[in-house]
Amino acid sequence: IGLANYFAGAALLPYGRFLEKAQACRHDLEILAGHFGASIEQVAHRLSTLQRPGAKGIPFFFVRVDQAGTITKRHSATRLQFARFGGACPLWNVHRAFETPGRFLRQLAETPDGVRYISLARDISKPAGR
């Protein structure tokens, strides 16, 4: 399924055009989603795959988390390692995103090895019955 998702993303968000637009709009997720007719989730995931030699994007990570804190989808172009089992760290801003629908939350986090990451979290609600 992961490979199929990658190819779907590549077809909807072609590497070169997407990277160029991402750099031009300073990686604004909403601008990218509107320009390519994609969802915020699709755009965020695609940003985390832009690591082609000679045409690398910023090393993003992407994670989808449910309200219980369970990681349901992940991809990283960084050294950040996600928990394979269990939930996400309770201090992470992804948990607060469900309290502020439609708004991006920012957080600076530092891992035990001293690496710092900027995390953007946003609730992406689906209509009832889906």
This prediction's pTM: 0.82
112-122 pLDDT tens trace: 888 888 889 99
Distance, in Å, from the CA atom of 27 to the CA atom of 16, rounded to the nearest integer, reads 14
Q: Residue ranges per domain, the chain?
A: 2-56, 61-121
What angle, 0 to 180 degrees and rounded to 10, lies between the N-to-C axes of helices 29-36 and 40-47? 110
Provide the pLDDT confidence category of residue 57 given band limits of 50, 70 and 90: very high
Residue 39 tokens read as 């969802």
Backbone angles phi, psi at 115, to 5 degrees: -80, 135
Local structure of 91: helix, strand or coil = coil
